[in-house]
Amino acid sequence: MSQRKPAQVHGLLVIDKPAGWTSRDVVNKVSGLLGEKRVGHAGTLDPMATGILLIAFGEATKGVRWWQDASKTYETVVRFGSATLSDDAESPPLRTAKVPTLTLETVRAALPPTGEILQVPPAVSALQRGGVRDHARVRKGEVVVREPRPVRLEAVEVLAIDGADVQLRVTCGAGFYIRALGRDLGEAMKSAAHLATLRRTFGGGFTLAEAISLEAFQKLPEDERFTHLRPLPQALGRVLPTLTVGDDLVLAFRQGKQPVLQTELRGEILVLDELGRAVCVVVAHDDEAGARLVVERGFVAPDAAPAADNE
């Protein structure tokens, strides 16, 4: 059996996804442009959605979990008057309803509270049961019923109201569906609603100002495309606290040991060596002598990329 060819391209690419593309379409396109097959992305965007899509290559694919779990911010337009199967404008109306009185006060009163809430995912989604995704079941004519599940709503702000449209800015945790928020807002106001637009403006510690559009990326000369890859230490340091250690501790982590250090850091920490390379992610547990550091994920440094932002 032939061994898997080692990845030659490493780092995180911050793309501004265009409408009409699936997240997988974008991943496949940039993977081909960079010539690297070891690739993954942190957080699916629906085809109609635009904005930040984080695409990891090579060793950086090991960090996808942490970018995926980080808070995300969206701007969306919720359109009242009709509900759709997909809870957005990608499918025709299922039912119509009278547009309610939309004021800052009435909309705010109908929005869910911030914190941990229960949310029913949309029927059309990438969630799966028995290895089959819900959107595939819906296309086959199956009725998909999902149980409520806990999600985190960190902040929601009403930006504007224009006729039947309400523009919101939403910050949430992983697994939160903005489409479901729009659907539920319509029901809470005794009406019907769906998303007309959706744009991710912040994700994985990155803003839209730091993203490059897919169109612009495709137009770059081949050698310039690689300059947009952010090294793993820099990119993962956006969502995890970092700790720099000497060679003795690097060796200890490589050997599977659990050193105890005097540090106030707890939880998950990105460990860097003195050259700024990613060594591992550890979990810091309370110990009588300080914090016991247990390796959760190790990295193989492709180079000595600096850990700090140098932009």
**Which residues are tagged catalytic?**
46
Residue with tokens 């793993």: 232
The CA distance from 11 to 1, in Å, is 28
Residues 6 or more apart whose CB falls under 8 angstroms from that of 76 comprise 167, 168, 170, 178, 181, 182, 195, 197, 198, 199
The CA distance from 295 to 147, in Å, is 35
The CA distance from 55 to 13, in Å, is 5
Contact (CB, 8 A) for 200 and 52: yes
CA distances (Å), 201 to each of 26, 71, 170, 187, 210, in order?
17, 11, 10, 26, 10
Residues 6 or more apart whose CB falls under 8 angstroms from that of 32 comprise none
Torsion angles phi and psi, residue 34, rounded to 5: -95, -10
Contact (CB, 8 A) for 224 and 107: no
